[in-house]
Amino acid sequence: MSLDTLPDLRCLMMVDGTLFGHVEDASTLCPMEIRQGSALAPFETCDQAPITLFNPARRHDFDASDLPRKTSSRPAEETPGDVYACWVNHLPDWALQGSDTVQLMINRHDRPCEVFLNAPINIPDVQEGMVFEALLAVHRANAQLCLRLVDPISGKEETLRFPFDGAHSGGAHPSGYAQVRQPLPDRFSACRIELSIEYLGHSGQDKQTEPFLFLADICVRQDATEHDQLSILRPEWLLGDTPQQQGQWIKAPLPAALVPGQGISVTLGGQTYPFTPMSKPDFTVRENYGHTLVCASAQGMDLLLCIDGQHVAPVRINRNDTIIRIPNRFLTGHVRHLSLKDRSGCVTLFEQQQLMPAIVTPGDVMQRESTAPFPATLFAQTPLRYAGLKAILENAGPETDLAQLAHALHTVEGGHENIKLLPLCFPTVEKPDVSVIIPAHNGIELTYLALCSLLLAQNDASFEVIVVDDGSTDETRALETLVQGINVVRNRTPSGSSAPAMRARNRHAAPTWRS
């Protein structure tokens, strides 16, 4: 839509759930409103220009597009890959969320070399407070980042070097990186920043493994620490750009949550103008583990991770799969509102109320590598086990074997790989309401685990237990000497027989017991 068709509106931008417009005289335009479906919100004048808070020019990012083709080295390569290999966000576990990460592997690592990135950052007008920033990480290398600062107007030059710190190995979070901050020289009118990496030698014990170097979030920006929450937002200009003429700013909140492909309309005076802020992308959250999201996308996008309404971090979505890890400070075991929005913070691509686990180690791994007791929040079955124990205690009598219950609880929490086979005893029932039939062929640990689970389950209905030993060759052959009060039916050879159904004494036999 052209500005020529919108004489009353000089520009229109949205950021942080608010729509801003610039007009010559708001008093001559009535009504002034925004419609989103059936919802409506009126515009009102605002004194402060939104660009003073949301300044898209405060940051000059390093252009990593097509970087592997731009790089070169000294000594020069005879064939590609002789000296080094370069990628951007190619190794997902070693890419910083919300940023481009340059990943450099030194192939000829027995001698020094220098790799030139050949993608300078150009600052046409150096202003007070401008700072060069980068995050550095390294594996098995002595190396340094070389900055060559050139003022193209005066011809002045300055070269700076920053060593890579082996204590920082990188990853998806900023805590894995060492930060470099270098103010631009005050005497420069303009600045061209050229970057290279000087590899000095291998520092690891395994000299056969290639060294890696990582550079992430490379940029020049104004120091804006007081506006951290706002500085990660990027205004979305729906119409025009920063106005130069005198006039008035107007603003209105978006009437409802905006999703991709959804349209809005702006009414000024007697004219209504339709806009679609964001077309619907081919994007989905393919897997959600509570602490990690796996996103699939057909195109690259810059999004914003938001938790409980807070703008947490920018996220760079690459083509195919992108892994987003929730910052540790939010993994408290509580339910939180999680969303992914566009960089303006207005369009929601994904949102969900979800439990963010305080323990991210999977339960089966903890069972295998550790011993019970485990944290109560680890297993989804914990609430059911707690309810079962309450019911058992409420109905406990002199015959209740509390020591056996404690052993059964320890067993089910420890998993089948940590079984300690102690004697069990089930009550004898003359006329059971239900027959529980457990097929077994070897794997006594799994059978024992099932029996312990039954001991922990308080039931109003009486039951008997029938174990079908289908030709086992392990300790299952002596199960009845270990567990009292159960019936064991044995097949000498594996046959999958339904004979135990004939032994059941319950009032109702299920004919499809094996399924």
What's the pLDDT band for 212 if we cut at 50, 70, 90?
Answer: very high
> Is residue 147 one of the residues assigned to a domain?
yes
Query: Do both 46 and 71 map to the same domain?
Result: no
Query: Do both 457 and 425 map to the same domain?
Result: yes
Lowest mean pLDDT among 6-20, 45-59, 290-304: 45-59
- pTM equals 0.55
| Comparison of pLDDT for 216 and 23, the residue scoring more | 216
Is 437 in a helix, a strand, or coil?
A: strand
Quote the CA–CA distance of 98 and 106 in Å, as a whole number.
25
> Is residue 381 one of the residues assigned to a domain?
no
Percent of the chain with pLDDT over 90: 49
Q: What is the DSSP letter of 120?
A: -
pLDDT of residue 227: 47
**342-368 tens-digit pLDDT:** 999 999 999 999 988 877 777 677 767
Quote the CA–CA distance of 505 and 479 in Å, as a whole number.
20
Lowest mean pLDDT among 9-18, 64-73, 330-339, 489-498: 489-498
Burial class (CB in 10 A: 0-12, 13-18, 19+), 110: exposed
Owner of token pair 């070269």: 159
Cα four-point dihedral sign 372, 373, 376, 381: positive
What's the pLDDT band for 53 if we cut at 50, 70, 90?
Answer: low
Q: What is the DSSP letter of 12?
A: E
Cα four-point dihedral sign 69, 71, 77, 81: negative
Query: Do both 185 and 313 map to the same domain?
Result: no
> Is residue 129 one of the residues assigned to a domain?
yes
Query: Do both 202 and 125 map to the same domain?
Result: yes
pLDDT of residue 361: 76
Helices (H) and strands (E) in the chain, counts: 8, 33
Task: Name the average pLDDT for the chain.
Answer: 86
Judge contact between 40 and 262, C-beta under 8 A.
Answer: no
> Is residue 379 one of the residues assigned to a domain?
no
Domain tally for the chain?
4
Beta strands in 44-166 (DSSP E): 44-46, 59-61, 72-74, 84-88, 101-106, 113-116, 121-123, 130-139, 141-150, 157-163
Is 172 in a helix, a strand, or coil?
A: coil
What are the residue ranges of helices labelled H in 185-274? 228-231
Judge contact between 277 and 258, C-beta under 8 A.
Answer: yes
> Is residue 439 one of the residues assigned to a domain?
yes
Other beta carbons within 10 Å of 228: 9
Query: Do both 34 and 121 map to the same domain?
Result: no
| pLDDT above 80 for 133 | yes
Query: Do both 296 and 340 map to the same domain?
Result: yes
Average pLDDT score over residue span 315-335: 86
What's the pLDDT band for 511 if we cut at 50, 70, 90?
Answer: very low
Query: Do both 66 and 158 map to the same domain?
Result: yes
Quote the CA–CA distance of 409 and 375 in Å, as a whole number.
13
Query: Do both 79 and 177 map to the same domain?
Result: yes
Query: Do both 49 and 63 map to the same domain?
Result: no
Percent of the chain with pLDDT over 70: 88
Amino acid letter for position 473: T
Judge contact between 436 and 466, C-beta under 8 A.
Answer: yes
**158-191 tens-digit pLDDT:** 999 999 999 899 998 888 899 999 999 999 999 9
pLDDT of residue 377: 61
Query: Do both 289 and 258 map to the same domain?
Result: no
| pLDDT above 60 for 125 | yes
Closest CA to 486 of 456, 448, 442, 515: 448
Beta strands in 89-156 (DSSP E): 101-106, 113-116, 121-123, 130-139, 141-150
Q: What is the DSSP letter of 164?
A: P
User: How open is the CA angle 434-437-441, to the nearest 5 degrees?
Assistant: 170
> Is residue 335 one of the residues assigned to a domain?
yes
| Comparison of pLDDT for 144 and 226, the residue scoring more | 144
Query: Do both 149 and 84 map to the same domain?
Result: yes
Domain boundary, last residue among 291, 325, 356: 356
Lookup: tokens for 431: 């006329």
**217-268 tens-digit pLDDT:** 999 987 654 445 556 788 888 888 776 667 888 999 999 889 999 999 998 8
| pLDDT above 60 for 488 | yes
Lowest mean pLDDT among 91-105, 174-188, 378-392: 378-392
Quote the CA–CA distance of 424 and 469 in Å, as a whole number.
18
> Is residue 388 one of the residues assigned to a domain?
no
Query: Do both 443 and 499 map to the same domain?
Result: yes
The whole domain housing 328 covers 283-356
| Comparison of pLDDT for 395 and 64, the residue scoring more | 64
Judge contact between 16 and 345, C-beta under 8 A.
Answer: yes
Domain boundary, last residue among 293, 326, 356: 356
> Is residue 389 one of the residues assigned to a domain?
no
Cα four-point dihedral sign 338, 135, 216, 170: negative
Judge contact between 145 and 215, C-beta under 8 A.
Answer: yes
Highest mean pLDDT among 94-98, 114-118, 323-327, 446-450: 114-118
User: How open is the CA angle 81-85-86, to the nearest 5 degrees?
Assistant: 145
Quote the CA–CA distance of 254 and 258 in Å, as a whole number.
8
